[in-house]
Amino acid sequence: MNILVLGSGGREHTFAYKIAQSDLCDSLFVAPGNAGTASIATNVPIAVTDFSAIKELVIEKNIKMVVVGPEDPLVKGISDFFKSDSELNDIVVIGPSKEGAQLEGSKEYAKEFLFRHDIPTAAYQSFTAETVEEGKKFLETLSSPYVLKADGLAAGKGVLILQDIEEAKSELENMLTNKKFGAASEKVVIEEFLDGIELSVFVLTDGKNYVTLPTAKDYKRIGEGDTGLNTGGMGAISPVPFANASFMSKIEEQIVKPTVNGLAKENIDYKGFIFIGLIKVGDDPKVIEYNVRMGDPETEAVLPRIQTDLVQLFKHVGEQSLNEAHLEIDERSATTVMTVSGGYPEAYEKGKEISGIDTISDSIVFHAGTKIEEGKVVTNGGRVIAVTSFDNDFRIALQKSYANIEKLHFDKMYFRKDLGFDL
Ligand code: AMP
Ligand code: GLY
């Protein structure tokens, strides 16, 4: 079978790496891909939201499975685009319908879904420019810190956590009246603050059955000790050591099952990943967000632990037979450390030559923002290269990643040296 992966980050290199290992894969294409995917697949310079160009490629290359990496094409309806086209509707698309993608595309939609299905989450109310004064009154009923969320997609920047009530009111005004996050903040969800440690759970569902994939914890802030600006993610550790069997069974019973059953009950077409962001409050899991795709860099730590043929799992998704799948997981921990361009997540330079990739051993290198220029691998984004290592002890796995990063070089390379500090 010929397969297409959509996207260009570390997540997509990891998908390509696993898919390329499958006997079920004949030719593998990645659009647009990066220097890492170029070494194991054919990169095609097509944007992930250019549906008509994707259609042409799929037909020309006889592609039978499309794995969608990022949320943007899902929220824009790529899955429905395939389903409603008579030339494409037999192709397996890994990624939910436009309706299902609203779980990530709209915070309010997600909160309403959570409440309809009695899934534990923070109390909330949502407001628009017309109800901004009511929003301020609602803030007064809460205690600090205050959580404000832009309803729509805001490139991971749409959540503000504020200590001061006056600041919270003025940010609410900024979001609603001054459209701080553009159309994404025409509506704002104000939430009860949940105090606890975060983790993420990943589920692959065919809309009826599901498998729960390994947990992971990511490190979102740029600075050590979880300080400074939010990034796409500076590293990940899988599994999360504190997610023991009894906690996982709460997650399964109180969150995963009602989510999958809720989607089915509401006839929401959902064949793909559900990434559930959770906070452990006391001994109980509460949902802070849904994403309708895998996480990046969580994928770089989670997928290498899956020993089952990934393409076979995806085929089961297409055939709604995931109940027949047998998931085998490497029991060891996997740790991913992300190297980034100096300046990221603010302005940074691109085009810096990367050296040392070939000298890395005992770890897996996943490319994120890289490309090939005049035969050399150069930086092409904020997040550049992820290094994933295994060990029974996550601390030793981290040491392996750090030792290998020492062999990598590009101008102004930065990475966090404290991953796992909170575990
Ligand atoms: P989200 O985009 O919804 O995942 O929010 C981004 C980050 O804000 C999360 O990873 C949490 O660290 C934090 N966060 C979101 N909602 C809450 C909440 N209700 N209580 C505490 N922290 C939150
Ligand atoms: N690492 C967080 C995300 O992929 O959204």
Q: Does residue 301 lie within any of the structural domains?
A: no
pTM, to two decimals: 0.95
Domain presence at residue 183: yes
**Domain match, 10 and 84 both:** yes
Neighbours of 343 (CB within 10 A): 13
Q: What is the pLDDT of residues 333-388, one digit of tens each?
A: 999 999 999 999 999 999 999 999 999 999 999 999 999 999 999 999 999 999 99
Boundary-marking domain end, from 138, 162, 191: 191
Name the residue of 159, 189, 217, 229 to mutate for ligand 1: max ligand atoms within 8 A of Cβ.
159
230-274: pLDDT as tens digits? 899 999 999 999 999 999 999 999 999 999 999 999 999 999 999
- Number of domains within the chain: 2
Within a domain: 203:
no
pLDDT tens, 79-98? 999 999 999 999 999 999 99
Contact 187, 112 (CB under 8 A): no
Where a domain ends, among 97, 132, 165?
Answer: 97
Q: What is the CATH number of the domain that holds 89?
A: 3.40.50.20
Q: Check residue 155 and give its pLDDT.
A: 77
For 119-141, write each residue's pLDDT tens digit.
999 999 999 999 999 999 999 99
60 has pLDDT over 80 = yes
CA of 14 to the centre of ligand 2 (A): 14
Contacts of 32 (CB under 8 A, 6+ apart): 8, 43, 44, 45, 46, 47, 48
Residue 407 included in any domain: no
**CA 134–ligand 2 middle distance (angstroms):** 32
Nearest ligand 2 atom to the CA of 295 is: 4
pLDDT tier at 220 (50, 70, 90 boundaries)?
Answer: very high
Angle between the 10-20 and 310-318 helix axes, to the nearest 10 degrees? 90
Based on the domain organization, do 70 and 136 belong to the same domain?
no
The residue whose C-alpha atom lies closest to atom 12 belonging to ligand 1 is 198
Any atom of ligand 1 within 6 Å of the Cβ of 194: yes
**Model pLDDT, residue 293:** 98
Contact 63, 90 (CB under 8 A): no
Same domain, 83 and 8: yes
Domain span at 35: 2-97
Same domain membership, residue 144 and residue 64: no
Kindly state whether residues 13 and 78 are assigned to the same domain. Answer: yes
Whether 333 is in a domain gets the answer no
Residue 79: strand, helix, or coil: helix
* pLDDT score, position 230: 87
Q: Is 191 in the pocket of ligand 1 (CB under 6 A)?
A: yes
